[in-house]
Structure 1
Amino acid sequence: MSESLHTVATMPATRRPGCPFDPPAELVEAQGHGPISRYTFPGGRPGWLVTGYDEVRAVLADQRFSSRKELLLHPTIDYGDIEAPEAPPGEFLLMDEPRHSRYRKPLMGKFTVRRMRLLTERVEQITAEHLDAMEEAGPPTDLVTAFANPVPAVMICELLGVPYEDRGSFQEQVRSFMDGETSDEELIAAYTATQHYLAELVAAKRTNPTDDVLSDLTDSDLTDEELRGMALILLAAGIDTTANMLALGTFALLRHPEQLAALRADPGLTDRAVEELLRYLSVAKTFMRTALEDVEVGGQVIEAGSPVILSYNTANRDPGRFTAPHALDLGRQNGGHLAFGHGIHQCLGQQLARVELRVALPALLDRFPTLRLAVPPEEVALRPELADIYGVKSLPVAWDA
């Protein structure tokens, strides 16, 4: 098999003009040659790019592939001989077992389906408050700043007990090291400020615990440093991913009026529509793994020590798994997407994200039945492909006031 493998020279940094929702053409082309391609990392180290659904899922489920930060290579940046550090305490996304479970297990009971559904009423309140503010201000507005960012941000800040008066500046700090365009100096400054704030927040929760997840975690053997790392992961993931799904999902619906009309006509379609948007958009585009030993995936042996890029956005568009995979079809029957990952690192907050999307999207469409883009679609500013999470920088919208 290896003799006929396709080779991808560089990870694409842009999408095709006029196709803001589709994966970069080079990745789709690679998938057309087969589910696994060769990829040479910056600096010359050989590795792999996995684009097929079954193969990505298999790697995610196999603990012979490591998530440890110190073993991962960046797909587009050559750091030379600089030795990568271990993930800081608490930042469990970049850890393997057993360190990973030390941090994830205390959180699992706090993000169950039942608990997240109990939060629906609060999500409805937050959503209504921001829609009221949009309506009062009148059109046009940037949906990102007026609605998509603040709804999940307020929710995750409340869950973790971030005081109301701190949320605006704190959210801005978190976003600044997630958008893919921050300079190194700005990124370091924002990260340092966020870590400093979280250290103060953890200390405050130990002294005066309140009704929130972080306060609950102080009643354990977790250190302040560990709690700070866990809080950082939850805040960054809880704000950025859902915010971009709300904004990019609205953009996609406005560009597919027949699907938007179907959703307006049948509110019972909401759950399926959310799952289809998650599949179709795959805002968390790629993740990295490193093989700890020789592992066969899709008939190809991936050698021990090999870095592996997992392409979620092509896996969720795999024609071997999904009928008409590049079409947005809110009535789609064959689900089972990988937008939240798979295996031990599957997104802990996926049920919260689902609640937020199921509440916020229909509420937005109901409140503004004439919602439309306020600029030509080609003028909507997109996040760079190299950002951790794909989405729009801003989404100018208008409606009939």
Structure 2
Amino acid sequence: MTDNPVAPVRSHPVDLPEYPMTRAAECPFAPPPALRVLQDSAPITRVRLWDGSTPWLVTGYDEMRTLLTDPRISSDVTYPHFPFQGPGHRERVRSDPTFINMDDPEHAHRRRMATASFAIKRVEALRPAIQKIVDGLIDTMLAGEKPVDLVEAFALPVPSMVICELLGVPYADHGFFQARSRLLVKRGVSPPAAWAANQELIDYLDRVITDKLADPGDDLLSKLAVEQVATGAISQRELAAMGRLLLTAGHETTANMIALGTLALLEHPDQLAELRQADDLKLVAGAVEELLRYLTIVHSGRRRVAAADIEIGGQVIRAGEPVILANDAGDWDPAAFAEPDRLDIHRDARHHVAFGFGVHQCLGQPLARVELQVVYGTLYRRIPTLRLAVDREQIPFKHDGFIYGVHRLPVTW
């Protein structure tokens, strides 16, 4: 990473809307109403963040995809005005940046180290193992007491077990890494707490990598330890930081999609009935894409900085100015998705931006898709009378996180 230009100082109104915005309690799956108002009035406008900075907020789908493929939009967190999620986020990503916080060619070089393990063919080969995990957890739920918290009993274990198997991390340690991951994706965490959680996870993975260097296995961390660390291509600490990213992102996002997607389907019983009875994998796969669009759980925007002047949407974004691309708004843009507030598992929603777009789009999206296809194609079929065990108003939503979902989802059958 190199020295970066500093954005020129501009005067902005004091009454700019605060970002992120608050969702409406009666519409917990929809983007915040104020965000949709902004989208209707202007696809690119200014907002105010926690630190008083005033980045550009992009809510238009077309403008978003254009910028996400523009090499003048940077993910480099060393820019002076990078729009961090909060002070804890700033502390964490600056202390141990990973490839998602880098630009090409460094970003591409680091990302390619792990790409093969998340390739579609490689992930498809994991489908039987994922099916076994899903069936085993459902068996345990059916044999236990009711009601049950679907988050703890099912939604969180499924992707945690899968990513542990892929990386070569002992699932027995899930309590340790899940607790720290929760802190890393929470908006209000203090810098010391965020830094400590990050360091503890990296230190833990550093020890795991040390063991793999001594006795490699058939897993991603072993492969990278032998190919990259042992050859001096990257340091062991850098691999541990990459492992922390893959471990955290690999279970937090999919776990929230499983639970929140289940809640959304329970509130759309006609859609749920079709999915429950489906024997066509294409219908299940399409439902996954629509739920990814409809929920867009990464709901604090993709954070970037302009590396050069960019003219777009009737605005000029100057070099060094911060930019936030609100992908939850983009996935509800009526210019891209007709009747975006309607959940429709028959919709062709594959062009959504839930995984981002361009060179920085989510590395693990093939794995997430297969996991969700197995879950949505199995859970409701095996437990056809699945229903909420409490009123919807009693379900605690994750308004305080970088990733949206529910803290708990009590269900019965």
Asked if TM exceeds 0.5, the reply is yes
Letter paired with 1:155: V
Between the aligned partners of 1:280 and 1:342, the Cα distance in structure 2 is 17
Tell me the secondary structure at the aligned position of residue 78 of structure 2: helix
Aligned to 1:67: 75
Aligned positions, number: 390
For residue 246 of structure 1, report the CA deviation from its aligned partner: 0.3
Aligned to 2:175: 168
Residue 264 of structure 1 pairs with residue 269 of structure 2: no
Structure 1, gaps ≥5 residues long: none
Alpha-carbon contact 2:83-2:323 (below 8 Å) kept: no
For residue 302 of structure 1, report the CA deviation from its aligned partner: 1.0
For residue 216 of structure 1, report the CA deviation from its aligned partner: 0.5
Letter paired with 1:265: Q
Seq. identity, %: 44
For residue 169 of structure 1, report the CA deviation from its aligned partner: 2.2
Aligned to 1:281: 295
Alpha-carbon contact 2:58-2:325 (below 8 Å) kept: yes
Aligned to 2:3: none
1:245 maps to which of 239, 242, 257: 257
Between the aligned partners of 2:408 and 2:245, the Cα distance in structure 1 is 24
Distance 1:78 1:224, change over 3 A: closer
Aligned to 2:244: 232
- After superposition, give the CA deviation of every residue in 1:76-132 in whole Å (9 maximum; x if it has no partner): 6579xxx97974566111111122122101111111100000000010011111111
Distance 1:161 1:84, change over 3 A: closer
Of residues 101-110 and 88-97 in structure 1, the stretch that sits farther from structure 2 once superposed is 88-97
Two-structure CA RMSD over aligned residues (Å): 2.1
Between the aligned partners of 1:146 and 1:84, the Cα distance in structure 2 is 32
Letter paired with 1:282: T
Alpha-carbon contact 1:274-1:357 (below 8 Å) kept: yes
Residue 325 of structure 1 pairs with residue 340 of structure 2: yes
Alpha-carbon contact 2:292-2:354 (below 8 Å) kept: yes
Tell me the secondary structure at the aligned position of residue 267 of structure 1: coil
For residue 46 of structure 1, report the CA deviation from its aligned partner: 3.4
Between the aligned partners of 1:46 and 1:53, the Cα distance in structure 2 is 21
Distance 1:233 1:124, change over 3 A: same
- After superposition, give the CA deviation of every residue in 1:274-329 in whole Å (9 maximum; x if it has no partner): 00000000001211110011111223211111111110101000000111011101
Distance 1:188 1:45, change over 3 A: closer
Tell me the secondary structure at the aligned position of residue 290 of structure 1: strand
Alpha-carbon contact 1:8-1:37 (below 8 Å) kept: no
Between the aligned partners of 1:298 and 1:238, the Cα distance in structure 2 is 34
Distance 1:224 1:356, change over 3 A: same
Letter paired with 1:70: T
Aligned ranges for residues 44-83 of structure 1 at < 5 Å? Answer: 44-71=52-79, 73-74=82-83, 77=86
- After superposition, give the CA deviation of every residue in 1:374-398 in whole Å (9 maximum; x if it has no partner): 11111110002x4111111111111
1:32 maps to which of 28, 40, 62: 40
Letter paired with 1:16: A
Alpha-carbon contact 1:259-1:329 (below 8 Å) kept: yes
- Taking structure 1 as the reference length, what is the TM-score of the superposition? 0.92
Alpha-carbon contact 2:290-2:348 (below 8 Å) kept: no
Aligned to 1:393: 407
Between the aligned partners of 1:165 and 1:394, the Cα distance in structure 2 is 22
Tell me the secondary structure at the aligned position of residue 411 of structure 2: strand
Aligned to 2:140: 133
Letter paired with 2:159: P
Aligned to 1:356: 371
Tell me the secondary structure at the aligned position of residue 49 of structure 1: strand
Distance 1:8 1:363, change over 3 A: farther
Letter paired with 1:372: R
Between the aligned partners of 1:41 and 1:167, the Cα distance in structure 2 is 33
- Taking structure 2 as the reference length, what is the TM-score of the superposition? 0.89
Letter paired with 1:283: I
Alpha-carbon contact 1:131-1:364 (below 8 Å) kept: yes
Alpha-carbon contact 2:290-2:349 (below 8 Å) kept: no
Residue 377 of structure 1 pairs with residue 392 of structure 2: yes
Letter paired with 1:328: L
Aligned ranges for residues 342-353 of structure 1 at < 5 Å? Answer: 342-353=357-368
